[in-house]
Amino acid sequence: MRKSNEKGDNMNGNSCTLVIFGGTGDLTHRKLIPALYNLEHDSNLSENFAVVTIGRRDYTDQEYREELKQSTKSFSRFSLNESTWEKLQNRLYYKKLDFTNKDNYCELNNYLLTIDNLHQTGSNRIYYLAVAPEYFANIVDSLRSDCMKVPHAFERVVIEKPFGRDLESATFLNNKIVNAFTEANTYRIDHYLGKEMLQNIMVIRFANIFFEPLWNNKYIEQVQISSNETIGVETRGEYYEKSGAIRDMLQSHMFQLLSLITMEKPNDLSPTSIRDEKVKVLKELKNKNVVRGQYEGYRQEKRVADDSNTETFVALKVEVDNQRWKGVPFYIRTGKKMPKKSTEIVIKFNKSDNLLYDSTHLSDNLLVIKVQPMEGVFFQFNAKKPGTQHKIIPVQMDFCQNCQVGINSPEAYERLLFDVMRGDQTLFARWDEVEYSWKFVDHIIEKWIKEEPHFPNYKTGTWGPIEADELLTEDNHEWINLEGDL
């Protein structure tokens, strides 16, 4: 096991060689290299930094750089500046190599040592696995081989999503990783955690005196967490057939949102304290009801089986079984081909009987955290309508983060790459978080297989099957779909 830099601290600034497996792939083109360009633009890359990407296609460094320049032009949040690109491309290399063949790793290491020396990276390495999940374990095994051992270096591994497809496969992969790297050097990507508003949830909760006292079952009636897309599976049919909404979204992104909203105040801002609190919540989750659905026309999509039983929508009610949250329903839903693209958390407060005004005439107090595509916070409260009549109306305060930073809000991958380089694990999933969320999801899927093999379709452009509404009407609640861009 590599024990270097157990604490995950970055002892050498961000001097390192970033080795991207999957250098010719979609993620590298659309996200990783544009994110590195943005970091270069903001002078966030060390002088002693280099990138080596690996693929099977034939490219010279120059051809590869030219192709990546075009992707960066298309996908960076900044327009391409020639001298900034020049700086990045001068430390960008392409290595053609079949990563499934263990024998190739001595050659790879020799090549990396040349680059390490050229850019004086201190032989620090980050291995980023931007490849199909079936290769994760194989590559991690090969990275353990004797040829890859480099003295006096930190070595970190970044694993893309999905981390397994159930608890068993996730445990298998994790065992491979802990054989080669320590937990402190393992970075499991959940790119939602890199989103600005997810990082903001903790600030909103713990940097404001007025939210924390109300953040419990005495004052909160219900919480709704939604992440919806208007598009279908498009070109991702093959991947989606093996995952579906519950594995693709619920196990990772939705549970991260839920745990940030419900966790107790951490002792401090260290990654360990924050992740300790998040995982406690995942252990306390109780499942109530689950509804799934498939959009009409899904089976006709490319690379989707004619008789596919993959869900493109899932909605569920859960409870967090602790003193703070006992009795508060958390309604979660995520789906494709919905009427609106949005990820948001709606917190609906109780209508107290202790108010001076008759609560039946008051509007709901709502706090909405808007994650994407709009970023911001919306708050609805009651106020007097101007005029001679004493009429109370709902009014809204709407903090629009996009309006302030425009479309130039930093991309999730930019923040995540930066954090790996400086050894900050806060925005990455720890193994026990992954473990407990898979346990929860496995339980639901087992029940589906045994007891509920059939499930409803829903029309495209609707909020999913009618059963998803019934999930809430049983509790005399309904989904809160805010209008417009809220």
Ligand X SMILES: NC(=O)c1ccc[n+]([C@@H]2O[C@H](COP(=O)([O-])OP(=O)(O)OC[C@H]3O[C@@H](n4cnc5c(N)ncnc54)[C@H](OP(=O)(O)O)[C@@H]3O)[C@@H](O)[C@H]2O)c1
Query: What residue ranges bind ligand X (CB under 6 A)?
Result: 22-27, 30, 54-57, 98-100, 130-133, 160-161
Cβ(434)–Cβ(248) under 8 Å? Answer: no
Closest CA to 193 of 224, 161, 164, 165: 161
Number of neighbours of residue 232 by Cβ within 10 angstroms: 17
Which residue lies nearer to ligand X by CB, 2 or 247? 247
Which residue lies nearer to ligand X by CB, 10 or 24? 24
* From 29, 119, 191, 253, the catalytic residue: 253
> Which helix H or strand E contains 221, and what residues bound it?
strand 220-228
Which residue lies nearer to ligand X by CB, 24 or 227? 24
Measured from the CB of residue 32, what is the shortest distance to ligand X in angstroms? 9
Which residue lies nearer to ligand X by CB, 255 or 458? 255
Which residue lies nearer to ligand X by CB, 130 or 220? 130
The angle, 0 to 180 degrees and rounded to 10, between the axes of the packed helices 33-41 and 61-75 is: 80
Return d(Cα 272, Cα 9) in angstroms, integer: 13
Q: Which residues contact 136 (CB under 8 A, 6 or more apart)?
A: 129, 159, 160, 173, 176
Measured from the CB of residue 59, what is the shortest distance to ligand X in angstroms? 9
Measured from the CB of residue 132, what is the shortest distance to ligand X in angstroms? 5
Dmax (CA) of the chain: 84
Measured from the CB of residue 165, what is the shortest distance to ligand X in angstroms? 11
Return d(Cα 472, Cα 450) in angstroms, integer: 25
Which residue lies nearer to ligand X by CB, 33 or 367? 33
Return d(Cα 202, Cα 94) in angstroms, integer: 39
Residue with tokens 């005439």: 361
Number of neighbours of residue 271 by Cβ within 10 angstroms: 18
Measured from the CB of residue 82, what is the shortest distance to ligand X in angstroms? 26
Handedness of CA 191, 188, 247, 297 (dihedral sign): positive
Query: Which pair of structure tokens corresponds to residue 442?
Result: 């496995």
Measured from the CB of residue 27, what is the shortest distance to ligand X in angstroms? 3
Q: Which residue is at the shortest CB distance from ligand X?
A: 25
Return d(Cα 55, Cα 131) in angstroms, integer: 10
φ/ψ region of 304 (left if φ > 0, alpha if ψ in -120 to 50, else beta) reads: beta
Which residue lies nearer to ligand X by CB, 30 or 351? 30
Measured from the CB of residue 133, what is the shortest distance to ligand X in angstroms? 5
Measured from the CB of residue 192, what is the shortest distance to ligand X in angstroms? 10
Query: Which pair of structure tokens corresponds to residue 6?
Result: 């157990």
Catalytic-residue membership of 253: yes
Which residue lies nearer to ligand X by CB, 26 or 296? 26
> Which helix H or strand E contains 217, and what residues bound it?
none
* DSSP per-residue letters across 124-174: -EEEEE-S-GGGHHHHHHHHTSGGG--TT--EEEEEPSP--SSHHHHHHHH
Closest CA to 290 of 236, 250, 328: 250
Q: List the catalytic residues.
A: 253
